[in-house]
Structures are given as C-alpha cells and as structure tokens.
Amino acid sequence: MSGLLDCLTECVDEVWTGCAADLLVAYTLHHHTDGAFDPASGTATTPVLTATDYGFLYDYAHGQLADQALRPTDKLLQCRLSSLGVTPNAGDWVVIGGITHDIISVKRDVANLVAECQLRRRGSSI
C-alpha cells in the first residue's frame, strides 16, 4: 500500500511544483502544539509551530454560501500535507500576503495528502 501512497504523493507534489505553480499563493501556517504544564507556576504553555508553503486559495462559490457555517468573505485554502510536516486544525491560523486568517474547519482527502481549510479573516464580522 505504501507504494501507491508514495506514487500519489509524488503526483500531488508534481502538480504543486510544476504545472500549477503560477496559481499558488505563499502562506505561513501557525499550528498549536501540545505544551507542558509547569506545576510551580500552575500554567501550561501552548507552543506554536510555523510552516511555510504554497497552496491554492479560492473564494467560495455563491451556491456554497447558503451553508450557515460560511460567510461571504471566507476563503478556501488547499494545502498539501506532505510538505508542511504538520496537519492544520481548526483554531490554527495562516498568514497570506500579510493578512491573518483563522482556520475555521479542515477537511482532508482520504489519502491524507491534501487539506481544504476554511479561512476567515481575523477581525472580520461579515
């Protein structure tokens, strides 16, 4: 099975770095990781790991906006998991072009190669 998964990973990587390179946007993922509890201070740390890559950024289609969880200003970021080293989760955030977007939800493909992240611009009330 790993042979097929390796082949699929190579195909995804080839699309990302080859024919679709002019459609990609640079982003930095800020991912919460498990921290340590300090019994002396009574506090826990929540370190943030950062990873930078390129992904596809889309507006949601008009028909998709009927979903109550989506706002008109939300964006969809497709990112390849093989290059990040971490898996994005709701509660993490990305920076694209100097603008911070919170990750609201994440859907992964069945092979766990690509994630679709619903993004909401930080501070957006619309």
53-112: pLDDT as tens digits: 889 999 887 767 666 778 888 999 999 887 788 889 999 999 999 999 999 999 998 888
Alpha helices in the chain (DSSP H): 2-17, 81-84
- pTM here is 0.75
CB 110 within 8 A of CB 120: no
Cβ burial of 87 (10 Å; 0-12, 13-18, 19+) is middle
Domains of the chain: 2-121 (2.40.10.270)
Q: Which pLDDT belongs to residue 19?
A: 57
CB 92 within 8 A of CB 49: no
Q: Give every CB contact of residue 40 below 8 A, 6+ residues apart in sequence.
A: none
